[in-house]
């Protein structure tokens, strides 16, 4: 890990709960942490787009299953974005404090939710409707 001669001025960056602890990590790790957050955000955007697509797909013949799935996708998307923000926050703090990085519990739950939503899409698309 690379160390720096200087440290950022305390209180100059927000959120202070992240940047007022520990000392400056190697920027490579901070940048990688930001890219991981961006990946979570892109997954959330994709889920939202899926919700809009399902809504439009069943526009003429809406039924409870399609509406529940679309709203479920929106809920999972919000959860995904929340997981992304939280992991960025926890990881940045851990990097600054030279502590171990967080585990993968919450993201696993997110992945399970996405898999369930995907199964729901398959069921809805393949199920014959009268």
Partner 1 sequence: MKTTPGNLWGDQYPFERNVAQRTMTMLGLAGLFVVTTILLVRADPAHVLGVSLIGAGVLSGLAALSRHRYVQETRLGFVIVQSRGGGFVFGSALVFAVIGVLVALLLVFD
| Closest CB 130 distance from partner 1, rounded Å | 24
Cis peptide before 43, with omega less than 30 degrees from 0?
A: no
Measured between alpha carbons, how far is 28 from 41 in angstroms, rounded to an integer? Answer: 20
Nearer to partner 1, 2 or 130 (CB): 2
| Closest CB 7 distance from partner 1, rounded Å | 8
Binding residues vs partner 1 (CB under 8 A) = 2-6, 8-9, 12-15, 18-19, 24, 27-28, 30-32, 34-35, 37-39, 41-42, 44-46, 48-49, 51-52, 55-56, 67, 70-71, 74, 77-78, 81-82, 84-85, 88-89, 92
Measured between alpha carbons, how far is 86 from 78 in angstroms, rounded to an integer? Answer: 12
Nearer to partner 1, 20 or 109 (CB): 20
Two structure tokens written together for 57: 């797909």
C-alpha 124 chain-centroid distance: 25
């Amino acid at each position: 890990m690379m160390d720096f001669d200087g440290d950022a001025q305390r209180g100059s960056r927000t959120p202070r709960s992240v940047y007022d602890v520990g000392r400056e990590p190697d920027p490579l790790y901070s940048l990688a942490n930001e890219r991981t957050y961006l990946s979570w955000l892109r997954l959330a955007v994709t889920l939202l787009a899926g919700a809009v697509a399902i809504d439009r797909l069943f526009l003429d013949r809406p039924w409870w299953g399609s509406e529940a799935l679309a709203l479920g996708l929106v809920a999972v998307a919000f959860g995904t974005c929340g997981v992304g923000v939280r992991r960025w926050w926890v990881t940045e703090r851990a990097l600054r404090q030279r502590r171990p990085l967080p585990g993968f519990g919450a993201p696993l739950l997110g992945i399970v939710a996405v898999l369930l939503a995907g199964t729901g899409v398959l069921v809805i698309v393949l199920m014959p409707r009268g």
